[in-house]
Structure 1
Amino acid sequence: MRRIFPYISASIAAVTVATAFAASTAEAHAIWFAQRAKQLALVYGVGADDLDAVKRVPLITSVTGLDADSLPVTATLRVAGAIPVVDSDEPLAVVAATMDYGIWSKDAAGTWHNKGADEIKDATVSEHNFKYAVHINQMPSKPIPLIPSHKLQLLPVGDALPVAMGAPIKIRAFYEGKPMAGVDILQDYVNDPDQKPLKTDTDGYVTLPVRNQGLNVLVGIYVGKSDNPAKYKQMEYRSSLTFVLPHLPE
Protein backbone atom coordinates (compact mmCIF):
# COMPACT_ATOMS: atom_id res chain seq x y z
CA MET A 1 0.00 0.00 0.00
CA ARG A 2 1.41 3.39 -0.92
CA ARG A 3 2.15 5.53 2.10
CA ILE A 4 0.70 9.03 2.05
CA PHE A 5 1.67 11.40 4.82
CA PRO A 6 -1.31 12.56 6.84
CA TYR A 7 -2.84 15.90 6.02
CA ILE A 8 -4.78 17.70 8.69
CA SER A 9 -6.25 21.05 7.78
CA ALA A 10 -5.24 24.07 9.80
CA SER A 11 -8.81 24.52 10.91
CA ILE A 12 -8.94 21.03 12.44
CA ALA A 13 -5.53 21.35 14.07
CA ALA A 14 -6.51 24.69 15.56
CA VAL A 15 -9.68 23.38 17.20
CA THR A 16 -9.13 23.11 20.92
CA VAL A 17 -9.84 19.89 22.72
CA ALA A 18 -12.49 21.62 24.81
CA THR A 19 -14.44 22.78 21.75
CA ALA A 20 -14.18 19.49 19.89
CA PHE A 21 -15.11 17.20 22.74
CA ALA A 22 -17.18 19.20 25.24
CA ALA A 23 -20.08 16.75 25.07
CA SER A 24 -17.90 13.62 25.44
CA THR A 25 -17.81 11.31 28.40
CA ALA A 26 -14.08 11.15 28.86
CA GLU A 27 -13.60 7.77 30.47
CA ALA A 28 -16.12 5.77 28.42
CA HIS A 29 -14.44 5.78 25.01
CA ALA A 30 -11.57 3.85 23.48
CA ILE A 31 -9.66 3.74 20.21
CA TRP A 32 -9.34 0.60 18.09
CA PHE A 33 -8.67 -0.46 14.51
CA ALA A 34 -11.31 -1.88 12.17
CA GLN A 35 -11.81 -2.32 8.44
CA ARG A 36 -13.76 0.41 6.68
CA ALA A 37 -14.29 0.13 2.89
CA LYS A 38 -11.35 -2.30 2.51
CA GLN A 39 -9.03 -0.01 4.46
CA LEU A 40 -7.82 -0.28 8.04
CA ALA A 41 -9.21 2.68 9.97
CA LEU A 42 -8.72 4.08 13.44
CA VAL A 43 -12.04 4.15 15.29
CA TYR A 44 -12.92 6.27 18.32
CA GLY A 45 -16.04 5.34 20.22
CA VAL A 46 -17.80 2.95 22.56
CA GLY A 47 -20.07 0.06 21.63
CA ALA A 48 -21.79 0.69 18.31
CA ASP A 49 -21.14 4.44 18.60
CA ASP A 50 -18.49 5.20 15.99
CA LEU A 51 -17.72 8.84 16.80
CA ASP A 52 -15.69 11.52 15.01
CA ALA A 53 -12.15 10.15 14.94
CA VAL A 54 -10.94 12.80 12.48
CA LYS A 55 -11.40 15.58 15.05
CA ARG A 56 -9.26 13.57 17.43
CA VAL A 57 -6.36 12.90 15.05
CA PRO A 58 -4.38 15.83 16.56
CA LEU A 59 -4.42 13.91 19.86
CA ILE A 60 -2.65 10.88 18.35
CA THR A 61 0.92 10.91 19.68
CA SER A 62 2.36 7.88 17.85
CA VAL A 63 1.61 5.25 15.20
CA THR A 64 3.69 2.06 15.15
CA GLY A 65 3.94 -0.61 12.45
CA LEU A 66 5.49 -4.09 12.65
CA ASP A 67 6.17 -6.53 9.82
CA ALA A 68 5.84 -10.33 9.79
CA ASP A 69 9.07 -10.65 11.80
CA SER A 70 7.96 -8.07 14.40
CA LEU A 71 10.45 -5.57 12.97
CA PRO A 72 9.44 -1.89 12.79
CA VAL A 73 8.09 -0.46 9.54
CA THR A 74 6.75 3.01 8.86
CA ALA A 75 3.01 3.46 9.33
CA THR A 76 1.01 6.68 9.29
CA LEU A 77 -2.57 7.87 9.61
CA ARG A 78 -4.18 9.71 6.71
CA VAL A 79 -7.50 11.54 6.95
CA ALA A 80 -9.78 10.10 4.25
CA GLY A 81 -13.12 11.88 4.44
CA ALA A 82 -14.86 10.91 7.67
CA ILE A 83 -12.21 8.43 8.87
CA PRO A 84 -8.46 8.26 9.50
CA VAL A 85 -6.94 5.27 7.66
CA VAL A 86 -3.59 3.51 7.99
CA ASP A 87 -0.98 3.86 5.25
CA SER A 88 2.31 2.00 4.88
CA ASP A 89 4.77 1.21 2.09
CA GLU A 90 5.17 -2.33 3.44
CA PRO A 91 2.75 -5.05 4.57
CA LEU A 92 1.77 -4.64 8.20
CA ALA A 93 1.39 -7.60 10.53
CA VAL A 94 0.68 -5.33 13.51
CA VAL A 95 -0.26 -1.67 13.78
CA ALA A 96 -0.61 0.36 16.97
CA ALA A 97 -1.47 3.89 18.05
CA THR A 98 -1.45 6.04 21.17
CA MET A 99 -3.68 8.96 22.11
CA ASP A 100 -3.26 11.49 24.90
CA TYR A 101 -6.88 12.47 25.52
CA GLY A 102 -5.98 15.12 28.05
CA ILE A 103 -7.30 16.19 31.44
CA TRP A 104 -11.01 15.89 32.22
CA SER A 105 -13.13 16.68 35.27
CA LYS A 106 -16.79 15.96 36.00
CA ASP A 107 -18.76 18.48 38.02
CA ALA A 108 -21.49 17.78 40.56
CA ALA A 109 -24.16 18.01 37.84
CA GLY A 110 -22.47 15.21 35.86
CA THR A 111 -21.03 17.37 33.05
CA TRP A 112 -17.49 16.69 31.83
CA HIS A 113 -15.07 19.58 31.27
CA ASN A 114 -11.68 19.56 29.57
CA LYS A 115 -10.18 21.17 32.67
CA GLY A 116 -8.36 20.15 35.82
CA ALA A 117 -9.88 19.79 39.27
CA ASP A 118 -8.21 23.06 40.20
CA GLU A 119 -10.56 24.78 37.71
CA ILE A 120 -13.75 22.85 38.59
CA LYS A 121 -14.34 23.54 42.27
CA ASP A 122 -17.05 20.89 42.73
CA ALA A 123 -15.38 18.17 40.63
CA THR A 124 -16.45 14.66 41.59
CA VAL A 125 -13.99 13.00 39.17
CA SER A 126 -10.79 14.37 37.67
CA GLU A 127 -8.38 12.37 35.55
CA HIS A 128 -5.79 12.34 32.78
CA ASN A 129 -6.87 9.93 30.04
CA PHE A 130 -4.62 7.88 27.76
CA LYS A 131 -5.88 5.54 25.03
CA TYR A 132 -3.96 2.84 23.17
CA ALA A 133 -4.75 0.45 20.32
CA VAL A 134 -2.99 -2.65 18.92
CA HIS A 135 -4.34 -4.49 15.87
CA ILE A 136 -3.06 -7.89 14.74
CA ASN A 137 -3.47 -8.39 11.01
CA GLN A 138 -1.43 -11.60 11.19
CA MET A 139 0.60 -13.16 13.97
CA PRO A 140 4.28 -12.38 13.36
CA SER A 141 6.86 -15.17 13.29
CA LYS A 142 8.43 -13.66 16.41
CA PRO A 143 6.68 -12.45 19.59
CA ILE A 144 4.97 -9.08 19.41
CA PRO A 145 7.16 -6.71 21.45
CA LEU A 146 6.04 -4.33 24.13
CA ILE A 147 5.65 -0.88 22.58
CA PRO A 148 7.44 1.74 24.72
CA SER A 149 4.80 4.43 24.14
CA HIS A 150 2.02 2.13 25.44
CA LYS A 151 1.89 2.30 29.23
CA LEU A 152 -0.89 -0.31 29.16
CA GLN A 153 -0.75 -3.06 26.55
CA LEU A 154 -2.64 -6.32 25.98
CA LEU A 155 -0.83 -9.17 24.22
CA PRO A 156 -2.03 -12.65 23.22
CA VAL A 157 -0.09 -15.53 24.77
CA GLY A 158 1.33 -18.04 22.28
CA ASP A 159 2.23 -17.92 18.61
CA ALA A 160 -1.25 -18.28 17.06
CA LEU A 161 -4.71 -16.78 17.38
CA PRO A 162 -7.82 -18.98 17.65
CA VAL A 163 -9.65 -19.63 14.38
CA ALA A 164 -13.16 -20.26 15.72
CA MET A 165 -15.61 -18.30 17.85
CA GLY A 166 -15.87 -19.72 21.36
CA ALA A 167 -12.30 -21.01 21.45
CA PRO A 168 -10.26 -19.81 24.44
CA ILE A 169 -7.66 -17.09 24.11
CA LYS A 170 -5.14 -16.24 26.81
CA ILE A 171 -4.23 -12.57 27.18
CA ARG A 172 -1.58 -10.90 29.30
CA ALA A 173 -1.76 -7.28 30.43
CA PHE A 174 1.38 -5.19 30.88
CA TYR A 175 1.66 -1.84 32.62
CA GLU A 176 4.90 0.11 32.23
CA GLY A 177 6.47 -3.01 30.73
CA LYS A 178 5.59 -5.35 33.60
CA PRO A 179 2.74 -7.89 34.00
CA MET A 180 -0.16 -6.18 35.76
CA ALA A 181 -2.73 -7.73 38.09
CA GLY A 182 -6.26 -6.39 38.46
CA VAL A 183 -6.66 -4.90 34.97
CA ASP A 184 -10.33 -4.87 33.89
CA ILE A 185 -10.80 -6.78 30.62
CA LEU A 186 -13.87 -6.28 28.41
CA GLN A 187 -14.31 -9.19 25.99
CA ASP A 188 -16.48 -7.55 23.33
CA TYR A 189 -16.23 -3.77 23.49
CA VAL A 190 -18.28 -3.14 20.34
CA ASN A 191 -21.24 -5.46 20.92
CA ASP A 192 -21.33 -5.59 24.72
CA PRO A 193 -19.63 -2.51 26.20
CA ASP A 194 -21.59 -2.73 29.47
CA GLN A 195 -20.51 -6.27 30.30
CA LYS A 196 -19.09 -7.10 33.72
CA PRO A 197 -15.31 -7.06 33.20
CA LEU A 198 -12.95 -9.91 33.92
CA LYS A 199 -9.76 -9.16 35.85
CA THR A 200 -6.20 -10.22 35.20
CA ASP A 201 -4.62 -12.51 37.80
CA THR A 202 -1.51 -11.87 39.88
CA ASP A 203 0.72 -12.53 36.84
CA GLY A 204 -1.34 -10.37 34.48
CA TYR A 205 -3.10 -13.26 32.72
CA VAL A 206 -6.73 -13.79 31.82
CA THR A 207 -8.31 -16.50 29.66
CA LEU A 208 -11.61 -15.88 27.89
CA PRO A 209 -13.65 -17.24 24.97
CA VAL A 210 -13.38 -15.46 21.63
CA ARG A 211 -16.72 -13.74 21.15
CA ASN A 212 -17.00 -13.18 17.39
CA GLN A 213 -16.33 -14.97 14.12
CA GLY A 214 -15.20 -11.65 12.72
CA LEU A 215 -13.88 -8.52 14.42
CA ASN A 216 -12.94 -8.93 18.07
CA VAL A 217 -12.27 -5.82 20.15
CA LEU A 218 -10.87 -6.54 23.62
CA VAL A 219 -10.25 -3.60 25.93
CA GLY A 220 -8.20 -3.39 29.10
CA ILE A 221 -8.73 -0.59 31.65
CA TYR A 222 -6.42 0.39 34.48
CA VAL A 223 -6.72 3.41 36.77
CA GLY A 224 -3.46 4.54 38.35
CA LYS A 225 -2.26 7.21 40.73
CA SER A 226 -2.00 10.82 39.64
CA ASP A 227 1.35 12.38 38.80
CA ASN A 228 -0.18 15.83 39.39
CA PRO A 229 -2.75 15.58 42.23
CA ALA A 230 -3.45 19.31 42.20
CA LYS A 231 -4.96 19.02 38.69
CA TYR A 232 -6.34 15.47 38.56
CA LYS A 233 -6.82 12.69 41.08
CA GLN A 234 -6.14 9.69 38.85
CA MET A 235 -4.80 8.54 35.49
CA GLU A 236 -6.90 6.22 33.33
CA TYR A 237 -5.32 3.96 30.72
CA ARG A 238 -7.60 2.24 28.19
CA SER A 239 -5.97 -0.19 25.75
CA SER A 240 -7.58 -2.20 22.94
CA LEU A 241 -6.44 -5.40 21.23
CA THR A 242 -8.17 -6.23 17.95
CA PHE A 243 -8.03 -9.17 15.55
CA VAL A 244 -10.35 -10.76 13.01
CA LEU A 245 -11.37 -14.42 12.75
CA PRO A 246 -12.03 -15.51 9.14
CA HIS A 247 -15.51 -16.36 7.88
CA LEU A 248 -16.33 -19.24 5.54
CA PRO A 249 -15.42 -18.73 1.86
CA GLU A 250 -18.16 -17.11 -0.19
Structure 2
Amino acid sequence: MKILVIGGCHSYGYGIAAGQGFVQRIVNRLEKEYGMVKVDYYTPFKMAKTVLLLNELKEKTRNYDLILLQLGHFELLQADSFKSLIASKNRDFNQRVYGTYDQEIELQNKPTDLTQFLTQGFDQVSSKRENRFTSGLKKMRGKSIDLLKFSILKTLNLFMELPRIQFVRINLTLILDSLYQVRDKVLLLTPFPIRERTSNFLRKEGQKIFLEEGLKRGFNVIDSFEIISGNKENCFLEDGCHLNARGHRAIFKEIMENFDFYETENTNLLNVRKIFRYFMENQN
Protein backbone atom coordinates (compact mmCIF):
# COMPACT_ATOMS: atom_id res chain seq x y z
CA MET A 1 0.00 0.00 0.00
CA LYS A 2 1.27 3.49 -0.89
CA ILE A 3 0.31 6.81 0.68
CA LEU A 4 1.15 10.30 -0.55
CA VAL A 5 1.31 12.98 2.15
CA ILE A 6 1.66 16.67 1.25
CA GLY A 7 1.48 19.32 3.93
CA GLY A 8 2.99 21.30 6.76
CA CYS A 9 4.47 20.54 10.16
CA HIS A 10 1.46 18.61 11.41
CA SER A 11 1.79 16.00 8.68
CA TYR A 12 4.99 14.66 10.26
CA GLY A 13 3.98 15.24 13.89
CA TYR A 14 5.92 18.36 14.84
CA GLY A 15 6.74 18.61 18.55
CA ILE A 16 5.22 15.31 19.67
CA ALA A 17 6.52 11.78 20.22
CA ALA A 18 7.09 9.53 17.22
CA GLY A 19 3.97 7.67 16.14
CA GLN A 20 1.56 10.12 17.82
CA GLY A 21 0.79 12.27 14.75
CA PHE A 22 -2.52 11.74 12.96
CA VAL A 23 -0.75 10.60 9.78
CA GLN A 24 1.40 8.12 11.68
CA ARG A 25 -1.66 6.81 13.53
CA ILE A 26 -3.46 6.24 10.22
CA VAL A 27 -0.43 4.44 8.81
CA ASN A 28 -0.21 2.18 11.87
CA ARG A 29 -3.90 1.30 11.62
CA LEU A 30 -3.71 0.53 7.90
CA GLU A 31 -0.59 -1.60 8.39
CA LYS A 32 -2.54 -3.79 10.80
CA GLU A 33 -5.28 -4.29 8.21
CA TYR A 34 -3.39 -4.35 4.90
CA GLY A 35 0.25 -5.11 5.69
CA MET A 36 3.23 -2.94 4.80
CA VAL A 37 2.54 0.72 4.01
CA LYS A 38 4.98 2.94 2.12
CA VAL A 39 4.59 6.68 2.71
CA ASP A 40 5.97 9.43 0.48
CA TYR A 41 6.16 12.58 2.62
CA TYR A 42 6.40 15.94 0.88
CA THR A 43 6.64 18.04 4.00
CA PRO A 44 6.83 20.83 4.96
CA PHE A 45 5.36 21.93 1.63
CA LYS A 46 3.74 25.19 0.54
CA MET A 47 0.67 25.40 -1.69
CA ALA A 48 2.32 26.99 -4.73
CA LYS A 49 5.00 24.31 -4.66
CA THR A 50 2.34 21.62 -4.31
CA VAL A 51 0.86 22.81 -7.61
CA LEU A 52 4.24 22.29 -9.28
CA LEU A 53 4.71 18.90 -7.63
CA LEU A 54 1.36 17.59 -8.84
CA ASN A 55 2.10 18.83 -12.35
CA GLU A 56 5.26 16.72 -12.23
CA LEU A 57 3.59 13.63 -10.76
CA LYS A 58 0.57 13.74 -13.09
CA GLU A 59 -0.59 10.16 -13.74
CA LYS A 60 1.69 8.81 -11.00
CA THR A 61 -0.90 9.93 -8.44
CA ARG A 62 -3.00 6.96 -9.59
CA ASN A 63 -0.39 4.64 -8.08
CA TYR A 64 -1.21 5.82 -4.56
CA ASP A 65 -3.91 4.20 -2.45
CA LEU A 66 -4.40 7.27 -0.29
CA ILE A 67 -3.48 10.95 -0.70
CA LEU A 68 -3.50 13.12 2.44
CA LEU A 69 -3.46 16.89 1.99
CA GLN A 70 -2.79 19.15 4.99
CA LEU A 71 -2.34 22.51 3.28
CA GLY A 72 -2.59 26.23 3.90
CA HIS A 73 -0.89 26.56 7.28
CA PHE A 74 2.09 28.41 5.89
CA GLU A 75 -0.03 30.79 3.83
CA LEU A 76 -2.72 31.38 6.46
CA LEU A 77 -0.36 32.74 9.08
CA GLN A 78 0.72 36.22 10.05
CA ALA A 79 4.42 35.66 10.66
CA ASP A 80 5.74 38.71 8.85
CA SER A 81 4.49 42.24 8.14
CA PHE A 82 0.80 43.03 8.44
CA LYS A 83 0.99 44.81 5.09
CA SER A 84 1.75 41.54 3.32
CA LEU A 85 -1.71 40.25 4.22
CA ILE A 86 -3.41 42.91 2.11
CA ALA A 87 -0.78 43.67 -0.56
CA SER A 88 -2.30 42.48 -3.83
CA LYS A 89 1.00 41.84 -5.62
CA ASN A 90 3.01 40.46 -2.72
CA ARG A 91 3.79 36.75 -3.04
CA ASP A 92 6.95 36.74 -0.90
CA PHE A 93 5.18 36.47 2.44
CA ASN A 94 6.37 34.42 5.41
CA GLN A 95 9.77 33.78 3.89
CA ARG A 96 11.43 33.04 7.24
CA VAL A 97 8.87 30.69 8.75
CA TYR A 98 11.23 27.71 8.57
CA GLY A 99 14.31 29.62 9.69
CA THR A 100 17.59 28.40 8.21
CA TYR A 101 15.79 25.57 6.41
CA ASP A 102 13.72 27.83 4.14
CA GLN A 103 16.05 27.58 1.16
CA GLU A 104 16.50 23.83 1.54
CA ILE A 105 12.73 23.34 1.65
CA GLU A 106 12.21 25.55 -1.41
CA LEU A 107 14.61 23.38 -3.44
CA GLN A 108 13.12 20.08 -2.29
CA ASN A 109 11.68 18.00 -5.14
CA LYS A 110 11.81 14.50 -3.67
CA PRO A 111 9.98 12.85 -0.76
CA THR A 112 11.31 13.94 2.63
CA ASP A 113 13.50 11.56 4.59
CA LEU A 114 11.87 12.25 7.95
CA THR A 115 14.59 10.54 9.97
CA GLN A 116 17.28 12.73 8.45
CA PHE A 117 15.04 15.79 8.45
CA LEU A 118 14.26 15.62 12.16
CA THR A 119 17.80 14.74 13.22
CA GLN A 120 19.02 17.92 11.51
CA GLY A 121 17.40 19.84 14.34
CA PHE A 122 14.51 21.39 12.41
CA ASP A 123 12.16 21.16 15.39
CA GLN A 124 14.58 22.99 17.67
CA VAL A 125 15.24 25.78 15.16
CA SER A 126 11.56 26.19 14.34
CA SER A 127 10.63 26.16 18.02
CA LYS A 128 13.11 28.93 18.83
CA ARG A 129 11.76 31.02 15.96
CA GLU A 130 8.18 30.58 17.15
CA ASN A 131 9.09 31.49 20.71
CA ARG A 132 10.70 34.71 19.46
CA PHE A 133 7.63 35.40 17.36
CA THR A 134 5.27 34.87 20.29
CA SER A 135 7.28 36.95 22.73
CA GLY A 136 7.70 39.63 20.05
CA LEU A 137 3.95 39.96 19.71
CA LYS A 138 3.54 40.40 23.45
CA LYS A 139 6.35 42.92 23.87
CA MET A 140 6.19 44.99 20.68
CA ARG A 141 2.59 45.00 19.61
CA GLY A 142 0.54 44.10 22.61
CA LYS A 143 -3.02 42.91 22.72
CA SER A 144 -4.51 46.24 21.68
CA ILE A 145 -2.45 46.47 18.48
CA ASP A 146 -3.19 42.86 17.65
CA LEU A 147 -6.89 43.52 18.14
CA LEU A 148 -6.69 46.57 15.87
CA LYS A 149 -5.09 44.57 13.07
CA PHE A 150 -7.64 41.82 13.47
CA SER A 151 -10.45 44.38 13.24
CA ILE A 152 -8.97 45.94 10.10
CA LEU A 153 -8.69 42.56 8.38
CA LYS A 154 -12.20 41.57 9.36
CA THR A 155 -13.62 44.85 8.07
CA LEU A 156 -11.73 44.69 4.78
CA ASN A 157 -12.89 41.13 4.28
CA LEU A 158 -16.51 42.31 4.32
CA PHE A 159 -15.91 44.27 1.13
CA MET A 160 -13.36 42.13 -0.71
CA GLU A 161 -11.62 38.78 -0.59
CA LEU A 162 -8.24 39.51 0.97
CA PRO A 163 -5.31 38.97 -1.43
CA ARG A 164 -3.81 36.33 0.85
CA ILE A 165 -7.13 34.47 0.95
CA GLN A 166 -7.46 34.83 -2.81
CA PHE A 167 -3.98 33.36 -3.22
CA VAL A 168 -5.04 30.31 -1.19
CA ARG A 169 -8.24 29.86 -3.20
CA ILE A 170 -6.42 30.01 -6.54
CA ASN A 171 -3.77 27.51 -5.52
CA LEU A 172 -6.25 25.16 -3.87
CA THR A 173 -8.34 25.17 -7.05
CA LEU A 174 -5.29 24.24 -9.12
CA ILE A 175 -4.40 21.45 -6.67
CA LEU A 176 -7.89 19.97 -6.64
CA ASP A 177 -8.20 20.18 -10.42
CA SER A 178 -4.93 18.23 -10.70
CA LEU A 179 -6.29 15.51 -8.41
CA TYR A 180 -9.87 15.45 -9.65
CA GLN A 181 -9.55 12.11 -11.45
CA VAL A 182 -8.29 10.44 -8.25
CA ARG A 183 -10.52 12.34 -5.80
CA ASP A 184 -11.81 9.09 -4.26
CA LYS A 185 -8.29 8.52 -2.93
CA VAL A 186 -7.93 11.99 -1.41
CA LEU A 187 -8.52 13.20 2.14
CA LEU A 188 -8.41 17.01 2.23
CA LEU A 189 -8.06 18.60 5.66
CA THR A 190 -9.21 22.13 6.32
CA PRO A 191 -6.56 24.38 7.94
CA PHE A 192 -6.18 23.87 11.69
CA PRO A 193 -7.06 26.70 14.09
CA ILE A 194 -4.40 28.61 15.99
CA ARG A 195 -4.49 30.63 19.21
CA GLU A 196 -3.14 33.86 17.73
CA ARG A 197 -6.17 35.98 16.77
CA THR A 198 -5.20 37.32 13.34
CA SER A 199 -3.83 34.02 12.05
CA ASN A 200 -6.89 32.19 13.36
CA PHE A 201 -9.09 34.58 11.38
CA LEU A 202 -7.11 33.67 8.25
CA ARG A 203 -7.46 29.96 9.07
CA LYS A 204 -11.22 30.37 9.53
CA GLU A 205 -11.52 31.98 6.10
CA GLY A 206 -9.38 29.18 4.72
CA GLN A 207 -11.71 26.62 6.28
CA LYS A 208 -14.62 28.06 4.30
CA ILE A 209 -12.65 27.90 1.05
CA PHE A 210 -11.48 24.32 1.59
CA LEU A 211 -15.02 23.16 2.36
CA GLU A 212 -16.53 25.07 -0.56
CA GLU A 213 -13.98 24.13 -3.21
CA GLY A 214 -13.46 20.57 -1.98
CA LEU A 215 -17.07 19.50 -1.51
CA LYS A 216 -18.37 20.95 -4.76
CA ARG A 217 -15.77 18.86 -6.61
CA GLY A 218 -16.69 15.69 -4.73
CA PHE A 219 -13.56 15.41 -2.56
CA ASN A 220 -13.51 13.86 0.90
CA VAL A 221 -13.04 16.83 3.26
CA ILE A 222 -12.14 16.64 6.95
CA ASP A 223 -13.19 19.81 8.79
CA SER A 224 -10.23 19.76 11.15
CA PHE A 225 -10.74 23.44 12.01
CA GLU A 226 -14.11 22.60 13.54
CA ILE A 227 -12.81 19.46 15.27
CA ILE A 228 -10.04 21.33 17.09
CA SER A 229 -11.95 24.57 17.71
CA GLY A 230 -14.36 22.72 19.98
CA ASN A 231 -11.54 21.91 22.41
CA LYS A 232 -8.88 24.44 21.46
CA GLU A 233 -7.39 24.96 24.92
CA ASN A 234 -6.44 21.29 25.33
CA CYS A 235 -5.20 20.51 21.82
CA PHE A 236 -2.12 22.72 21.38
CA LEU A 237 1.51 22.67 22.33
CA GLU A 238 2.78 25.61 24.37
CA ASP A 239 3.48 27.61 21.20
CA GLY A 240 -0.27 27.82 20.52
CA CYS A 241 0.41 27.00 16.89
CA HIS A 242 0.96 23.25 16.65
CA LEU A 243 -1.28 20.42 17.81
CA ASN A 244 -0.26 18.24 20.73
CA ALA A 245 -0.84 14.48 20.86
CA ARG A 246 -4.44 15.02 22.02
CA GLY A 247 -5.16 17.23 19.00
CA HIS A 248 -3.64 14.73 16.59
CA ARG A 249 -5.64 11.94 18.19
CA ALA A 250 -8.86 13.93 17.67
CA ILE A 251 -8.11 14.32 13.95
CA PHE A 252 -7.23 10.63 13.63
CA LYS A 253 -10.41 9.56 15.42
CA GLU A 254 -12.59 11.74 13.17
CA ILE A 255 -11.04 10.25 10.04
CA MET A 256 -11.35 6.64 11.14
CA GLU A 257 -14.93 7.04 12.39
CA ASN A 258 -16.25 8.82 9.31
CA PHE A 259 -14.34 7.31 6.41
CA ASP A 260 -14.01 3.79 5.10
CA PHE A 261 -10.98 2.47 3.23
CA TYR A 262 -12.10 -0.11 0.68
CA GLU A 263 -10.53 -2.09 -2.14
CA THR A 264 -11.69 -1.38 -5.68
CA GLU A 265 -12.72 -4.19 -8.00
CA ASN A 266 -10.06 -5.66 -10.30
CA THR A 267 -7.23 -3.68 -8.65
CA ASN A 268 -5.06 -3.89 -5.56
CA LEU A 269 -5.61 -0.22 -4.78
CA LEU A 270 -7.73 1.27 -2.03
CA ASN A 271 -10.19 4.13 -2.25
CA VAL A 272 -11.74 6.29 0.45
CA ARG A 273 -15.45 6.56 1.05
CA LYS A 274 -17.36 8.79 3.43
CA ILE A 275 -19.36 6.35 5.52
CA PHE A 276 -22.41 8.58 5.96
CA ARG A 277 -22.66 9.24 2.23
CA TYR A 278 -22.21 5.52 1.51
CA PHE A 279 -25.06 4.51 3.82
CA MET A 280 -27.38 7.17 2.41
CA GLU A 281 -26.74 6.00 -1.15
CA ASN A 282 -27.42 2.38 -0.25
CA GLN A 283 -30.62 3.24 1.60
CA ASN A 284 -31.91 4.99 -1.51
Q: Same-fold call, TM > 0.5?
A: no
Between Structure 1 and Structure 2, which shows a larger proportion of strand residues?
1
Between Structure 1 and Structure 2, which shows a larger proportion of helix residues?
2
**TM-score normalised according to structure 1 size:** 0.31
Higher relative contact order (CA 8 A, sep 6+): 2
